[in-house]
Amino acid sequence: MPKPNRRCRTRPPTKGEGVSKGGMLCNCNPAWAKSYTVGCILLGNKTGCRFQRSGAGVSQRVFTDSPSPQLVSSGKEIEILAARIAERVGEELEDRFPEHAQEMRTADHRAQACRLGRSPFSAATVNIDFCSHRHRDTNNKETGLSALLTVLPPGQKPSCYHQLPTVSPEGHQSAGVSIALPNGSLMFEAARSFPHQTTPVVSPSSRLSLVFYQHRLLDRPLHGAALGRFLETRDL
């Protein structure tokens, strides 16, 4: 099993790099690595959609997550493309895991605004050579599955591994599974239940991974607009 992410060390930003809270960046991700969120996600621990609370308006749901959280000014085209891919991935989910897909669609009739197209997913994370530390996606819907689609340049072999550190392969006593995901591969994962991580990319590879998922509590009409106004009143 390849080594997991080395112990994280933070560093000050270089010129032109944005920073999030704390003013430091992570050494595990190189300067060229990027991560975007497309769609609707849960806002912190509150019952509400981040898109509705952002004040962005109905024409945009694309945020950068690294190196600095902000809206993407020309994100509508990205959202349309992500929705089309999400619909195709959703078809695969319904074919292979119909019970999970059905559970993820229980609120579609009233919460369609918080979905990517006609898919069962509320959002996608688009990663470019971006690695993640060990975590569980605890904001995901309890009965839902995540889908990981990997896209590599022609002829390129996988340059990092998707790891499940607590899973024991059949016939092995020690835990830990590393998966080299090839170009075009689609993996479904119970990301809320099992810890997972990816190894760092050591040189630019243009590796693109698209992670589709549905966050819990995104089950209200119009991105929870009425609830958002209530929360703003309570915050005052």
How many structural domains compose the chain? 1
Q: Read out DSSP for the chain?
A: ----PPPP-EEPPPTT----TTS-EETTS-TT-EEEEEE--B-TTSSSBHHHHHT--TT--EEEEESS-EE-TT-HHHHHHHHHHHHHHHHHHHHH-HHHHHHHTTTHHHHGGGSSTTSS-SEEEEEES----SB--TTB-TT--EEEEEE--TTPPP-S-EEETTPPPTT-SS--EEE-PPTT-EEEE-TTTS-BEEPPPSS----EEEEEE-BTT--SGGGGHHHHHHHHHHH-
Instruction: Tell me whether residue 74 is in a domain.
Output: yes
pLDDT at 143: 92
pTM of the shown model: 0.81
In this prediction, residue 118 has a pLDDT band, given cuts at 50, 70 and 90, of very high
Instruction: Tell me whether residue 10 is in a domain.
Output: no
Instruction: Tell me whether residue 45 is in a domain.
Output: yes
Tens digit of each residue's pLDDT (9 = 90 or more) over 14-26: 554 444 444 455 6
pLDDT at 227: 54
Specify the higher pLDDT residue, 173 or 213.
213
Instruction: Tell me whether residue 3 is in a domain.
Output: no
Structural domain harbouring 142: 30-235
In this prediction, residue 200 has a pLDDT band, given cuts at 50, 70 and 90, of confident
